A and B are shown apart, each in its own frame.
Chain A
Amino acid sequence: DVQLVESGGGLVQPGGSLRLSCETSGFTFSSYWMHWVRQAPGKGLVWVARINPDGSVTHFADSVKGRFSLSRDDAKKTLYLRMASLRVEDTAVYYCTRTSGAGPDFWGQGTLVTVSS
């Protein structure tokens, strides 16, 4: 079975940094585009970032460009989202997703990031 398990969320002060991880299993990780989608409390889903199968191409939402970075470790089958210069408005549940086409086919359970002083 495909599994995506996020970790690394928590409480951080504005301006701080955090690294989220997404451990995967049940599929050939190195063959898929992977994305992060976030959801602020009580709000809808918003796309954050994506990385291609070999890790050579990344794209970011304008709201996080220059502050967030993406990487992947195929040996560990793990996706990483490095978040820096965090703002209060980055507070959200962050979901790791796999895509085999036009949208996510599998979602992780999410990890909560709270940016507050």
Chain B
Amino acid sequence: NFMLSQPPSLSESPGKTVTISCTASSGSIASNYVQWYQQRPGSAPTTLIYEDNQKPSGVPDRFSGSIDSSSNSAFLTISGLKTEDEADYYCQSFVGSNPWVFGGGTRLNVL
């Protein structure tokens, strides 16, 4: 079964840079696009990154996505951290025509 693993939580200070990993359990992470979603407390998710590294309009340049085939992982990097970035972050991908698979989510604390 294809799975995506994320660290359960991360903490970092305002103004710093943080990177959230998303590691595929099988196959190549580069074979299918990876997306990233932000979910603030009490709110619905919103799309941050699509197709590995593309941003919908309105998403700040502080957010970026990347893929590393050697570690079979995708990464979400947030620079210049703000307190408003405190949220849960989810990666998502799929294999072939199979349905979406989400990572378990990473709770980001900005303190």
Contact = CB atoms under 8 A, between A and B. Distances in A.
Given A45-B90, A102-B35, A102-B93, A107 B47 contact: yes
A45 B106 CA distance: 12
Main DSSP-derived SS at the A contact region: strand
A95 B102 CA distance: 14
A4 to B, nearest CB: 9
A103 B92 contact: yes
A31 interface: no
Interface of B: 32-35, 37, 44-47, 50-51, 56, 90, 92-94, 99-105
Nearest to A97: B45
Given A45-B37, A102-B35, A103-B92, 12 more contacts: A35-B100, A37-B100, A44-B105, A47-B101, A50-B99, A101-B33, A102-B32, A102-B34, A103-B50, A105-B47, A107-B45, A108-B44
B47 A101 contact: no
B46 to A, nearest CB: 7
Interface residues of A, number: 20
A50 to B, nearest CB: 7
B44 A46 contact: no
A97 B42 CA distance: 18
Contacts of A45: 37, 45, 90, 92, 102, 105
